[in-house]
Amino acid sequence: MQLQLGDTVDGVLNLALIGRLDTPGVDQIETRLTAHLVPRGARAMVDLSQVTFLASGGIRMFITIARALSRKGGRLVLYGAQPLVAEVLETTSLNNIVPVRADATTAGSVARG
């Protein structure tokens, strides 16, 4: 599992996750992702287009980070999920509480607020 840091545009951090968000993948990435986003209360958009597998550990991680950001005035937006990953987001209703968008343009709009 890799975390790729992108540009910051209009105050919105753009990041990409690459690989599998299974138990080992979450173990590898969660501390680093949290440390990068939460202390600064970031507005962040996360590209999921290269995430090939998502399970409940990843859902838990996204809820935890999104809630921590929300309490600091930040925001987490997910975008670009492949169809089977998007199905997991919908099955768990994560998309009801964390914005999930199809592409970077619409994700950026939501993240900027």
Partner 1 sequence: MPASPIDARRVEIRFPGSHEGFADAFRRLRHALDREALSASTRYNAELVFEEIVANIVGHGARKGREPDVRVTLEARPDSIVLIFDDDGVPFDPRGRPDPVKPTSLEEAKVGGFGLMLVRHAASSLEYLRTAEDRNQLIVRVPRQP
Query: Residues interacting with partner 1, by CB under 8 A?
Result: 22-24, 27, 53, 55-57, 59-60, 63-64, 66-67, 70, 84, 88, 91-94, 96-98
CA distances from 29 to 34, 73, 97 (A): 8, 23, 22
CB of 23 to partner 1, least distance (A): 5
Q: Name the minimum Å distance from CB 74 to partner 1.
A: 12
CB nearer partner 1, residue 6 or residue 55? 55
Nearer to partner 1 by Cβ, of 9 and 84: the residue is: 84
CA–CA dist 62, 18 (Å, integer): 15
3-state secondary structure of 22: coil
Reading the block at residue 102, the tokens are 């199809």
Nearer to partner 1, 6 or 63 (CB): 63
Minimum CB distance to partner 1, residue 7 (Å):
26
Of residues 53, 54, 64, the one with CA closest to residue 92: 54
Give 27 or 103: the residue with its C-beta nearer to partner 1: 27
Q: How far is the CB of 91 from partner 1 (least distance, A)?
A: 5
Question: What does the alpha-carbon distance between residue 82 and residue 70 come to, in Å, rounded to a whole number?
Answer: 26
> Six-digit token pair at 51?
């995430």
